[in-house]
Amino acid sequence: MSRLSIVLLTVLAIATFLATAHAQRNYFVGRPFHFPYDPHHDAFKQFVGPLLDPKDGVIVFDFTVLP
């Protein structure tokens, strides 16, 4: 995996981890699964998608942060 892919995955992961409520998560997951969705996050996904390694893909985790 390239350095650019790792950096972009990190940014995407941070954005995902910051969404703690299901409604917030759904807003950032976006289309085609949820509406309404965040158009800026969707544009970021469209930008990042072609830069990711098609063989390795991407894994996004969703979890609740404990105090």
Per-residue pLDDT tens digits for 5-60? 666 666 666 655 555 566 666 666 666 666 677 788 778 878 888 888 778 777 76
DSSP character string of 4-67:
HHHHHHHHHHHHHHH--SHHHHHHHH-TTT-SS--HHHHHHHHHHGGGS-TTT-------PPP-
d(C-alpha 37, C-alpha 16), whole Å:
13
pTM for the full model?
A: 0.39
What is the rounded distance in angstroms from the CA atom of residue 24 to the CA atom of residue 62? 11
Distance CA 44, CA 17 (A): 16
